[in-house]
């Protein structure tokens, strides 16, 4: 976290603008700050007192207790800062710990219940104002992205080729988040827009994402920290936001944000110090110095916002609806083809049965007439021969039509085999 505002005596060292690592407030402490909106340590030098309980081995829940002891690591942390007492007020936004109003005193100081409750009220008012401000700031972005999503949806309605609808129009996948480039893997082909890594890097990245993604959405602002080859294209994609369209088909979208170099001023070295005790045990020790410690942060992009993630999820739903619609159209077409094939089958049977029989009769009687009737002259024989040739041609055409009707069917070739040899 960063110190964004400060009020202090003139003789005190300023902390304004300094950053503190997230590890300074462990997860369990964050949960307590969300439950207890105020927290007081009247004197860091007061020793903790053990609790005497019944012999039931059930620990006493002190979550809501003001007298709950503080972690010895945190006490040492405050002592290293030269602080004798502290008081904090939680600022909550959308159910999460947004920040703290941290009050430090350099001599022991107790704050009574009435004053603590007044501070809690101030914290609640500020939390409400923060949440309202965040909603207000996000509403403009949400409205902007909603317009782009609506235009993209129109593209999907207009163009039956899904890739064209997503990438070829003025409003594309690149416009639904604040990214510099986007890559789409669809039907085993890669499509890109904007600033993206080269095809080989994209192929390897897609393969890695398909192996490692367990959720629909994956995002990071430090890709190279989890995917080492990412350092090769940090200028283009230090941060990625990936969306799985279909796990079965291996289809997904990846947006890219470039590296954003920045200098972070820490209140002392943020790395945890390791201390070895006389017993040989090792423990984490809070830092002793809070002098400004500058760090240049590289291989890192701007954060992906919840608004961007929400926008991507909405687009994913639109795309899947379009894919399902196309699949349904193909299924309907297959049903129509099946009906047409059945009609062709019926037609073939009609040709075979209704036309072949009279044609056979015509040919047979003509041949018989030529064989038995000696009174027919040469001209008559020629005419009857033409009848036979015409019948043979018609028989050939019928056979060809039957072959066409059997296209796609498996035909059996019968042959004799010796069962004893088998």
**382/366 Cα distance (integer angstroms):** 12
Judgement on whether residues 314 and 347 belong to the same structural domain of the protein:
no
Q: Are residues 99 and 165 in the same domain?
A: no
Residue 407: predicted pLDDT: 57
Whether the CB-CB separation of 266 and 223 falls below 8 Å is answered with no
Q: Are residues 310 and 184 in the same domain?
A: yes
Per-residue pLDDT, 170: 92
Q: Are residues 130 and 146 in the same domain?
A: no
Query: In this structure, is residue 242 part of a structural domain?
Result: yes
Q: How many CB atoms lie within 10 A of CB 320?
A: 12
Q: Are residues 96 and 61 in the same domain?
A: yes
d(CA 333, CA 331): 5
Contact 123, 131 (CB under 8 A): no
| Domain-embedded: residue 273 | no
**Is-contact 296 217, C-beta < 8 A?**
no
**134 and 146 co-located in one domain:** no
User: What is the structure's pLDDT at 253?
Assistant: 96
* Structural domain contains residue 185: yes
CATH assignment of the domain containing 185 = 3.30.450.270
**Residue 420: phi, psi to the nearest 5?**
-65, -35
Q: 262-267 and 292-297 as β-strands: parallel, antiparallel, unpaired?
A: antiparallel
Residues 90 and 110 in one domain: yes
Cβ neighbour number for residue 119 with a 10 Å cutoff: 19
Q: Are residues 65 and 211 in the same domain?
A: no
pLDDT at residue 267, rounded to an integer: 47
Instruction: State how beta strands 239-246 and 251-257 pair.
Output: antiparallel
Is 265 part of any domain? no
Same domain as 107, residue 213: no
Domain count, the chain: 3
pLDDT in tens, the chain (422 residues): 778 888 989 888 887 877 777 777 778 888 888 998 999 999 999 888 888 777 667 778 888 888 888 888 888 878 888 889 999 999 998 888 999 999 999 999 999 999 999 999 999 999 999 988 888 877 888 888 999 999 999 999 888 888 999 999 999 999 999 999 999 999 899 999 999 999 999 999 999 999 999 999 999 999 999 999 999 999 999 999 999 998 888 999 999 999 886 645 444 455 555 455 555 544 445 545 445 445 556 788 888 998 999 999 999 999 988 888 777 677 777 778 877 777 777 777 676 667 777 878 888 878 887 777 777 787 887 888 888 888 888 888 877 777 766 655 555 567 777 777 76
Residue 295 lies in a domain: no
What is the predicted pLDDT for the residue at 393?
87
Give the pLDDT confidence score for residue 260 in this predicted structure.
Answer: 80
Say which CATH number the domain at 44 has.
Answer: 3.30.450.40
313 and 383: one domain?
no
Contact status, residue 217 vs residue 203, Cβ threshold 8 Å: no
Does 42 share its domain with 76?
Answer: yes
- DSSP percent split of the chain into helix, strand, coil, nearest 5: 45, 20, 35
pLDDT at 282: 41
SS3 at position 217: strand
pTM of the model: 0.59
Domain coverage including residue 52: 22-138
């Amino acid at each position: 976290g960063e110190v964004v505002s400060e009020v202090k005596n003139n003789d005190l060292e300023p902390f304004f603008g300094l950053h503190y690592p997230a590890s300074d407030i462990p997860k369990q402490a964050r949960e307590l700050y969300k439950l207890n909106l105020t927290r007081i340590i009247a004197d860091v030098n007061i020793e903790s007192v053990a609790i005497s309980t019944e012999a039931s081995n059930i620990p006493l829940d002190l979550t809501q207790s003001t007298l709950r002891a503080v972690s010895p690591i945190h006490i040492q942390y405050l002592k290293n800062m030269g602080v004798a007492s502290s008081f904090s007020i939680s600022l909550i936004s959308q159910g999460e710990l947004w920040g703290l109003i941290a009050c430090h005193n350099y001599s022991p100081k107790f704050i009574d219940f009435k004053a603590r409750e007044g501070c809690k009220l101030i914290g609640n008012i500020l939390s409400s104002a923060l949440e309202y401000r965040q909603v207000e700031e996000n509403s403009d972005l949400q409205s902007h992205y909603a317009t782009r999503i609506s235009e993209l949806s129109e593209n999907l309605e207009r163009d039956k080729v899904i890739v064209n609808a997503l990438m070829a129009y003025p409003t594309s996948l690149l416009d639904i988040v604040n990214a510099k480039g986007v890559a789409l893997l669809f039907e085993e082909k890669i499509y890109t827009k904007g600033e993206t890594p080269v095809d080989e890097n994209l192929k390897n990245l897609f393969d890695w994402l398909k192996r490692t993604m367990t959720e629909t959405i994956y995002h990071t602002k430090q890709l190279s920290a989890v995917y080492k080859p990412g350092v090769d294209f940090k200028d283009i994609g230090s941060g990625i936001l990936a969306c799985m369209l279909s796990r079965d088909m291996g289809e997904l979208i990846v947006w890219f944000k470039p590296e954003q170099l920045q200098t972070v001023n820490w209140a002392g070295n943020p790395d945890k110090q390791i201390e070895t005790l006389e017993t040989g045990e090792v423990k984490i020790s809070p830092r002793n110095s809070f002098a400004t410690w500058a760090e240049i942060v590289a291989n890192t992009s701007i954060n992906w916002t919840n608004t961007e993630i929400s926008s991507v999820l909405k687009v994913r739903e639109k795309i899947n609806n379009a894919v399902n619609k196309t699949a349904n159209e193909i299924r309907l077409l297959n049903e129509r083809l099946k009906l047409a094939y059945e009609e062709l089958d019926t037609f073939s049977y009609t040709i075979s049965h209704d036309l072949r029989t009279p044609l056979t009769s015509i040919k047979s009687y003509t041949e018989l007439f030529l064989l038995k009737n000696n009174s027919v002259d040469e001209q008559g024989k020629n005419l009857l021969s033409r009848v036979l040739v015409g019948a043979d041609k018609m028989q050939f055409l019928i056979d060809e039509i039957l072959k066409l009707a059997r296209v796609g069917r498996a035909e059996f070739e019968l042959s004799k085999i010796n069962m004893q040899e088998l």
